[in-house]
Chain A
Amino acid sequence: MTLLFWLATAFAGAGNDVVACLELYDIACAQTAAGRLGASAEDRAARAELDFHLGEFATARDGLKWVADSTKDAELAKRLALFERVAGATTGFTTEKRADVTLRYRAGMDDVLLDEALETLQASHDKIGPLLGGAPPGGVRMELFPTAQRFIDASSLPGEAVRKTGVIALSKWTRLLVSSPRALGRGYGWKDTIAHEYIHFIVAWRTKDRAPVWLQEGIARSHESMWREDEPSPLTPTQESLLAAALKDDKLVPLARMHPSMAFLDSADEAALAFAQVSTMIVHLRRTAGPDAVSRVLDLVRDGRDALQAVADVGSGGDTTAFMDDWKTYLKSLKLVSRKLSESKVILDGAGDEFDADPQLGQRTDLARFARLGDILLDHGRADAALVEFRKAAPSDEPPSPILSVRTAEALVLLGRKDEAQAMLSASAVDYPEHAPTRIALGKMLLDKGDSAGAFREYRAGVDVDPFDSAAQAALAALYATRGDAPLAERHRRYARLLTSSEPATR
């Protein structure tokens, strides 16, 4: 914002108009204002800023460089450094534009994301935008980064913070910056994440960036699945578990602690709890005040109303205490998962060992040791002994581990105990629906048993999280074909080919 401040304070006219529009997340407005820009340093800087927001990084960098060199301004030099970093991070990217969506990404492996990324964003634009009172004009731009490091370089966030908090996507500079599921070993719910970030963009635009973090996150978390479903997203079992425990112990996270960022909370579990709280607050708001309640709250906030008060105004006649009490009552009425579950740690770019990303084993090196021993025994054809080690790695008084469930199921299958394996995977899929290996293993098992509907459900869920599993893509293609959906069958067949081809980048 330094450049914007510089421009806004130093100059008037078209440059300032552009900056003002950008501050309001209004690209269309900025583009209109940019038509009046001249060739002065200030105007060139404003042009560069607009180009940066539009994703024309090389142009933005070159334009700002000229200004920075000519003015020798220190603030501009700092801004230029950012532009250069972002330009570097997006080197080799190609641009794909469809309707309201512009996507930049690096062709190659990430081609498997292209269609669904565009479709998700378009659906979010079409379906979620209206729910929140409309989408920002001028479309939506997104960069899809192949590695977390490139995301870090492009986001201006400290690398340490990103890796510590597991932030893998961001809505900033009127763009969405998203890490490829490849940046995480086993993928993540990247499509809902895209929608989530787009919601931030909408909310920021709708409220003139006045919405506090808790409201932003509450709306985004609760609405992130509404590009594909009609109702708000349910909590994950882990969030339910954390919420149930917090309710029982009266240890909910105060809204004030969520400011300025969820990332400053004490732990991943606490952050997950906070997300669960604000998400359910918004769901409760919709429940009590109707589908347009959120949009009305955004209007109030845009007009300067305190966020909680705005929620109370819409949800409970202005009584914040009553709203909060009603919300807690609502929470208590939910059948929350009471099992002890932990949030998975986000491990980026291959850091850590195979168990680090596991919510349980990632915290317990001693148990991970047994799990690894089980793997070694399994690799040596000793499924019987491996099972003993896997059981040691999963004490009954500890939360279940998704990785361990998959491994145990693998051993059980080798020992001919397929029913036990299936039961184990099914239970694990309930606890950790976003653990792709569980879903894919379960899909395969169901497919082997002839349950193609169940297999389709599981493969689809698995591929949604980890689209880089070529075998799963191939299985999904076959299942689509069975269901008579030739275009999607062909699409996933193409993905499978792309992932197994010796020349994926030469597609």
Chain B
Amino acid sequence: MIRNWRGSSGVRLYVVPDSVSRIQQLLTLTARRSAWLSAGRAGALALAALFVGLAVATLAVGEGSRRLGAVVLVAATSAALALVFLRVRGMRQRLSSRGQADAIEAVTPDLRGALTTVIDRVERPMGSPGLFFRLADEVAGGVGKVRPALVWPLRPLWQDVRWSAFGAALLVGVTAVGPLNPIDAMRKLLGGSPAAAAVTPVEADGPKALLGDITLRYVYPPYTQLDPLEVPNTNGEVHAPPGTVVEVRAKTAEAWTAAVLEVSGEDPVPAGLVDGRVVIGSFTVGAEGTWRFRFDGTPSADFRIVPDPDLAPTVAVSSRAKQSIGTDQPFSVGFAVKDDYGLTRIVAEVTVRGKVTEVLLRTPLDMPRALSDQRTLRAADLGLTAGDVAKVRIGAWDNDEVSGNKVGWSAIFTIEVLGAEGSQAQNRELRDALLEALILPLAESLLDPALPADTGAGATTWAGRADDRYGAFDEVARGAEGLNRRNFQARVIENVNGARRDLFAFVRGLPVGTLGNIDATTFAALQAKNVRTLEMAVWTLDKVARAEAYATIVKLAEELAADARAMKESLESLTTPQALARLDRIDRQMDVLDTLARKLDRGGMRSFLESRIAELEGAMAAARRDVAKGADAAKQAADIQRIADLLDEMAGGVDEAQKRGGEGDDALQKEIERLDKEFSELAAALAALEKKTQAAREKHGQSLDDGLKAWAEVEAAAKAAERALADPSLGALPSRSVQGGVGDAQHDAKGLNDSVRARDTEQAADRAEDTVQSIERARRRLDGAARTGQVEPSAAAAAGRSLEAAQKAAVRAATALEKLEAAQSTGSPELTEALKALSGEQAGVAGRAGEAAKAAKKVAQQMQSDASEMEEAAGEGASQAKRATGELEKGDAMASEGAQDAASDAFLRASEALKQAVADQKKMQQEAGGGGEQGEPEEGAGGGEGVAGEGNIEVTIPAPEEFETPEAYRKALLEGMQGEVPESYRAASRRYYEELVRQ
């Protein structure tokens, strides 16, 4: 440290020794401690004064003396300030070095005078530095033992804090026992809020009328649709929505002669008195406040009124954050709305380029508190056109008639309306994503063993793993939610999910033990079906992608050829840069063509194009070089001529190839038409033969009456068995083992009915026996499940009755079949002759049927869509027609009729299946042609195509709310919504019944 030292010779410098520094450090520490102790004591005393003042003021205000309260409060505040002042007065002096030195010397007598001397000399250097340094060293040695806590102890602070604690305790006590808390008291003093002002303080003076057994009856506003509610023996506090009428009934401790009801902020109203001790009154809930009775001038205690606010509805919407849709492509928006008391209307708010419009979605007639719906909309429904990008949110309005309707909004989502090209691109993207996502399920399914597990438990484990393969597919499918089911991609998704659901649902329902034959067979069949569906999905998606690429190639090749021809014709007028630019343009188109060619399969067209493109690239390069170097006109013309020729050749080849493909299609189409006609004719011919057989039997077959009756009996019994097995009591059983048994029985019963319809005595007898046995097994399993408690006794009893009925029917069928066999062996010779005569004609038809089956196989092999169902049906038809011939030759009229009927039916099915396959193929071609959904007919317009009834899946029922609601509406609605159904179905069902009611 360097200091000025002013000696007799004037000012000079000297170095301050460490001893002085140590002294000064101590002084700094003690001064700091002294400062915060002083501040703490001032604060504690001030707080004590304030707490005491506040407590007194609260008491005063609570007793109605605002003035006193104010005075006390002001006095307390003044006292606090005064105490603070007193504490901080002289603090500067105390905190100075000299002050601190004095304080230290006061507790260390050895240093008295020395410390202050050193401090003075430091402040005012004078005298001999040597003496000063020696003194400083001595003092520094003395202060080394001094601690700041010794100089400034805490005790005085604690004493002041005790005062503060006393004040706080006083305040708490006043709050606890007083009528007001300090905050309310301050509000009161400061003028307060309206709510605070409404609170009428308990009158401090005079006695209070005691109330007991307070009963509140709430009569809610009509819009809330709440029934009146009576709450006995309450504490008097009212909680209700504004507008609620509260009827108060209470008993008083003593009899009174008059009473009024006082509600804060309102004039007193007369209250009724019964026998002087039961008081009755009512008021309407408005703002927050209090109520009380006043009896002959004596008030009761105050009771709070707390209005329950009617909040705005909440709206949850299930829609992707952004959806891109075609102009005519339906999309789904699901919403779930809730409100406290009721909803009046649901709207969609659409904002496009700053312009906001509102589209009404629902105006529910019954003002429900909750409403869920899944609406299928199109862009036009929201007033959108191609190119629009709209921000949409769903809003719900409540029915608050008291404070006014309030609206709640959903999150905002975006709808982008694509033009034709955009839609196609979107479809293409989805198609490619689907194809990619289906590779894993297909590949893994192909590698699954034929029967992945031989126990139910193993199969369930397998199903869990197998379902995981669909992760990517599910993600893509989720992205496609909202697509019209007529959309090609949507159908693919639906088909895949359908087969997958059938398989996994069946597997998960299997009993845990070893699989029975029927279960194993069904398992394998569903597995095969699932693989087939995946294969068709992948193949179809790929086929469409390739066909689309092909169609684009055709178009592009034509454009290229036209460009080249135009260039050839205008070559003379083109400048070099223009010619090069034209060549560049052709080059770019060629690149696109090259990319498209790679999307084709490894077939002839791909190699044809690749070969031509390679050759063209060479010709282009040569032409560009000649143009750039300014070769003579003849050379340039020759180059362009060559390019034009090559492009022409390529376009011609592509076009010709397409025509060739079309010719193949034409030939197939002709064969399909012929085959369809043949199916119809065969069905008719077989039906006619059946009639002839029947006529012959009726003419000659008197002895077959018994057989006829027996067939009728068999048929009735078989149907009865099937019906009994379809009883809902069997479907709801919780035991998978029993379910499996019932499933087997149902399978057998169906087979029995099929055989009966075909009048196949032998097979029907076998199936009847199978049915009897499988029902017996199911009954045993049911008994076991009931014994172990897996099935409730009542449910077991109901199911047992159904099984018993089914078994009896099956036994009846078996017995009748025995009689039938006996009857069939007693045909008359005339009938036998007549049937033999028919067998020739039948053989002819059977021959045709055989040919048709062969043709069906060939057509199925050539069709792009899956026509296996048609092939199978035609095969069955041929087989039955052949059997009919044999039965006629044997003289068995009934069996013949059955076979003829089955054959006729099979050919009709074949015809239907063929039409379906053609429709599927057409769909694929449409999709490949880029038409996609855009080019599809409107809903219902193509009723003859697609899956039966598919066109009606997305029923759009107009909003019901514009109609008056008859009383029957509610009932019909409720009836219509009975039962556990999916939410989407509930919503559709609801709207359906709303529609009914309107009509």
Contact = CB atoms under 8 A, between A and B. Distances in A.
B608 A365 contact: no
Nearest to B445: A385
Contacts of B439: 376-377, 380, 382
Contact of A350 (B444, B609, B619): B609
What secondary structure prevails in chain B residues at the interface with A? helix
A499 interface: yes
B622 A503 contact: yes
Interface in B590-634: 601-609, 611, 614-615, 617-619, 621-622, 625
A450 interface: no
B604 A352 contact: yes
Given A355-B603, A502-B621, A365 B443 contact: no
A352 B660 contact: yes
Interface in A174-220: 182, 184-186
Contact of A150 (B605, B622, B649): B649
B611 A353 contact: no
Interface string B796-828: 000000000000000000000000000000000
Contact of B538 (A108, A149, A150, A373): A373
A351 B656 contact: yes
A501 B622 CA distance: 13
Interface string A350-387: 11111111000001111101101101110010101100
Contacts of A499: 614
Contacts of B615: 108-109, 504-505
Q: Which 3 pairs between the two chains have the least Cβ-Cβ distance?
A: A354-B603, A350-B608, A505-B618
A146 interface: yes
B442 A369 contact: no
Interface stretch (B194-202, B455-463, B860-868, B891-899): B860-868
* Size band of the interface chain B makes with A: 35 or more
Interface string A317-356: 0000000000000000000000000000001011111111
Contact of A504 (B447, B614, B861): B614
B661 interface: yes
B861 A147 contact: no
B542 interface: yes
A354 B602 contact: yes
A92 B604 contact: no
A458 interface: no
B618 A365 contact: no
Interface string B652-694: 1110110011001000000000000000000000000000000
B447 A385 contact: yes
A355 B861 CA distance: 13
Contact of B653 (A147, A186, A355, A382): A147
A324 to B, nearest CB: 34
B649 A149 contact: yes
B618 A369 contact: no
A91 interface: yes
A506 interface: yes
B649 A350 contact: no
A84 interface: no
A203 to B, nearest CB: 32
A109 B614 contact: yes
Contacts of B619: 108, 505-506
Contacts of A101: none
A468 interface: yes
A355 B864 CA distance: 13
B998 interface: no
A3 interface: no
A389 interface: yes
B675 to A, nearest CB: 15
B555 to A, nearest CB: 16
Residue from B603, B653, B656 having most chain A Cβ neighbours under 10 A: B603
Contacts of B656: 149, 159, 349, 351
B617 A502 contact: yes
B649 to A, nearest CB: 6
B36 interface: no
B902 to A, nearest CB: 26
Interface string A282-307: 00000000000000000000000000
Interface of B: 435-436, 439, 442-444, 446-447, 535, 538-539, 542-543, 546, 601-609, 611, 614-615, 617-619, 621-622, 625, 641-642, 645, 649, 652-654, 656-657, 660-661, 664, 860-864
A108 B609 CA distance: 15
Given A350-B609, A365-B862, A504-B614, 9 more contacts: A365-B861, A367-B861, A376-B435, A376-B538, A377-B443, A380-B439, A385-B444, A503-B617, A503-B621
Contact of B864 (A91, A365, A504, A506): A365
A163 interface: yes
Nearest to A505: B618
Contacts of A354: 601-604, 606
B539 to A, nearest CB: 5
Nearest to A149: B652
A221 B825 CA distance: 66
Contacts of B542: 372, 376
19 contacts: A147-B649, A349-B608, A350-B657, A351-B657, A352-B661, A364-B861, A365-B862, A370-B535, A375-B601, A377-B443, A380-B436, A380-B443, A382-B439, A382-B443, A384-B447, A504-B614, A504-B615, A504-B618, A505-B619
Contacts of A413: none
Nearest to B605: A350
A123 interface: no
A388 interface: yes
A345 to B, nearest CB: 11
B704 to A, nearest CB: 44
A353 B443 CA distance: 24
Residue from A159, A182, A349, A367 having most chain B Cβ neighbours under 10 A: A349
Contacts of B860: 366
A353 B444 CA distance: 27
A149 B607 contact: no
Nearest to B641: A92
A373 B446 CA distance: 11
A384 B660 contact: no
Nearest to B650: A147
A376 B607 CA distance: 18
Interface in A129-158: 146-147, 149-150
A96 B421 CA distance: 51
A349 B653 contact: yes
B611 A352 contact: no
B607 A186 contact: yes
